[in-house]
Amino acid sequence: MDWDLILWLIAIVSNISLLVLLIYQIICLSDLEADYMNPYESSANINAMVIPEFLVQGAFCALFLFTGHWFMFLITLPIACYHVRLFIKREHLVDVTEIFRALSSEKKFRLIKLAAYLLFFFLVIVRLVIAIYNSLADEDEAVHGFWLF
């Protein structure tokens, strides 16, 4: 099996896990906004997903750094830096007493991250299809024009 194919399979699995974690957080915030969930339960559910999301995003970014996919590394780096900044300033957890005041900004940040993760998903799918084609094709038929990402 080709190593490039394995890389993109790992990337698609980690990207799907990022999307699931983030969509769960958005659903919890929407349930809180619609008053289906109390603030304590919503904060506990969101805070349980924050650290795993940060770890998966960091591993996702490091995966591209260590494999030399510079374009993908550079487009995943801003979110990783944002996560590091939140963690250092200790603003990564949702406070149960301030959740209603910060509800709109929390949803806005998570929706922006969702758009970025969907962009990553599209790029990873394209690269996965190219890697599958290259692993099945002969050396003469392989696609080499996607050197950018």
- Position with higher pLDDT, 87 vs 147: 87
Is the residue at 141 inside a domain? Answer: no
According to the model, what pLDDT value does residue 135 have?
Answer: 84
Question: Would you state the pLDDT for residue 35?
Answer: 84
Our count of domains for the chain comes to 1
Does residue 148 fall inside a structural domain?
A: no
Instruction: Give every CB contact of residue 87 below 8 A, 6+ residues apart in sequence.
Output: 54
Q: Are 73 and 51 in contact (CB under 8 A)?
A: no
Report if residue 144 sits inside a domain: no
- pLDDT greater than 90 at residue 11: yes
Question: pLDDT tens across 93-126, in order?
Answer: 999 888 889 899 999 999 999 999 999 999 999 9
Domain membership flag for residue 145 = no
Question: Which pair of structure tokens corresponds to residue 19?
Answer: 């999307």
Q: Are the C-beta atoms of residues 96 and 4 closer than 8 Å to each other?
A: no
Q: Is 25 a domain residue?
A: yes
Question: Is position 51 within any domain?
Answer: yes
**Rounded distance between C-alpha atoms, residue 57 and residue 15, angstroms:** 8
Q: By residue range, what is the domain housing residue 94?
A: 3-136
Question: Is 7 contained in some domain?
Answer: yes
